[in-house]
Amino acid sequence: MSAEANTTTPGIVITGASGRMGQMLIRTVLASDRVRLVGALDRSGHDWIGRDVGEAMGGSAVGVTVTDDPLEAFAKAQAVIDFTAPSATVEFAGLAAQARAVHVIGTTGLSADDIAAINRAAHHAVIVRAGNMSLGVNLLTLLTKKVAAALDADFDIEVIEYHHNRKVDAPSGTALMLGEAAAEGRGVTLEDVADRGRDGITGARGSGHIGFSAIRAGAIIGEHDVMFASQSERLILRHVAEDRSVFATGALKAAIWGQDKAPGAYNMLDVLGLND
Ligand SMILES: NC(=O)c1ccc[n+]([C@@H]2O[C@H](COP(=O)([O-])OP(=O)(O)OC[C@H]3O[C@@H](n4cnc5c(N)ncnc54)[C@H](O)[C@@H]3O)[C@@H](O)[C@H]2O)c1
Ligand SMILES: O=C(O)C1=N[C@H](C(=O)O)CCC1
């Protein structure tokens, strides 16, 4: 890459560098000629701290040392791509905003308070947040909204999600995006109609409810079904992530897209130009 490109190409910091998504993101950034890797962060005490991130990943050195100091790392960045954990992401939102870096958030399991704190940080910088960064899932939210609007409450809506056995939050961020889309299509608020975690004598299903079920097994990367079921027919919309690269590619697109945007809270539909 030329010296000129170096001054204009966004510098990216990857948080949670050693994680499943962190490593996929680092490989994606290193393979791109539209961005530069300028930092890699992980939590204090992690055995990658102080090591070259390329070597820590089992390859050759890339000249970026893994740090546990977000302030130092973000100062060099035009964008921070963050797939970590809720408490870390809330802290990073404030620090990335101070550094005026675009913050791309893939972390799921965020509480309403976490989201409120992130949205406060978005007054000062661009934040793009989505429970799923893939093109396919974001299109599926639009289809889900449309189908939910077309079908009445004779059709029960169920969101079924399937993930690997290391996932710590449920329902998945994607399942919640799909539930929100279905609720929007029906003109209701998801919290008022969501059925989460049925167990025991639950009583019959409530009409108009939106149900969630979570499978955790093996190495499943991420699969989601939205089922619309009446007494006489069943329609199932389904997305399957074959590879984590779909999430990393979307995140990188968001980091580049955000470079010339005004401060604010955005999602992947904004990035993809699909928001109405
Ligand atoms: N939005 C999407 O498209 C999408 C896709 C995949 C995963 N995710 C979400 O991304 C998150 C991470 O998933 P994963 O499978 O990579 O998990 P993981 O457990 O493999 O990785 C998490 C990483 O974050 C690091 N971390 C935790 N606390 C930290 C802190 N305080 N400071 C710095 N680093 C810290 C961990 O050490 C680890 O490296 C989850 O919330 C998951 O649901 C979102
Ligand atoms: O592996 C994960 O964890 C995933 N999390 C996101 C979610 O919660 O929907 C996206 C799919 C993979």
**38 and 168: one domain?**
no
Which whole-number Å values give the CA distances from 236 to 144, 155, 240, in the listed order?
A: 10, 12, 13
Q: Provide mean pLDDT across the span 29-38.
A: 98
Catalytic (active-site) positions:
163, 167
Residue 34 falls within a domain, yes or no?
yes
**45 and 169: one domain?**
no
Residue 147 falls within a domain, yes or no?
no
**34 and 129: one domain?**
yes
36-41: strand order across its sheet: 66-67, 36-41, 11-15, 79-82, 102-105, 126-129, 264-266
Residue 234 falls within a domain, yes or no?
no
**51 and 113: one domain?**
yes
Residue 1 falls within a domain, yes or no?
no
**Going by DSSP bridges, is the β-strand pair 194-196/102-105 parallel, antiparallel, or unpaired?**
unpaired
Residue-wise pLDDT for 134-185, tens only, equals 999 999 999 999 999 999 999 999 999 999 999 999 999 999 999 999 999 9
Residue-wise pLDDT for 239-261, tens only, equals 999 999 999 999 999 999 999 99
Ligand 1 site residues (CB inside 6 A) read: 15-16, 18-22, 41-43, 46, 83-85, 88, 106-109, 130-133, 173, 247
Per-residue b or e along 50-66, where b marks 16 or more CB atoms closer than 10 Å to that residue's CB: ebbbbebbeeeebebbb
The reported pLDDT for the residue numbered 7 is: 56
Close Cβ partners of 213 (under 8 Å, ≥ 6 residues apart) = 158, 159, 160, 161
Q: Give the total number of structural domains in the chain.
A: 2
Considering every ligand atom shown, identify the ligand nearest to the alpha carbon of residue 86 and give its number. Answer: 1
**125 and 90: one domain?**
yes
Q: Is residue 2 over pLDDT 90? A: no
**33 and 127: one domain?**
yes
**CATH number of the domain that 35 lies in?**
3.40.50.720
CA distance 189 to 174: 17
The reported pLDDT for the residue numbered 8 is: 81
The reported pLDDT for the residue numbered 276 is: 75
What distance in angstroms lies between residue 174's CA and the mean position of ligand 2's atoms?
A: 7
**224 and 262: one domain?**
no
Q: Is residue 1 over pLDDT 70? A: no
Residue-wise pLDDT for 38-77, tens only, equals 999 999 999 999 999 999 999 999 999 999 999 999 999 9
Q: What is the pTM of this model?
A: 0.97
With a 6 Å cutoff on the Cβ, whether 86 touches ligand 2 is: no
Residue 138 falls within a domain, yes or no?
no
Q: Is residue 119 over pLDDT 90? A: yes
User: Which structural domain, as residue segments, surrounds residue 189?
Assistant: 152-229
Among 138, 141, 84, 95, CA closest to 118: 95
**24 and 123: one domain?**
yes
Q: Which residue has the tokens 């089992």?
A: 58
The reported pLDDT for the residue numbered 114 is: 98
Instruction: Give ipTM to 2 decimals.
Output: 0.99
Closest ligand 1 atom to Cα of 130? 1
| 3 state DSSP class of 190 | helix
Residue-wise pLDDT for 212-244, tens only, equals 999 999 999 999 999 999 999 999 999 999 999
Residue 266 falls within a domain, yes or no?
yes
Do 99 and 75 meet the contact criterion of CB atoms below 8 Å apart?
Answer: yes
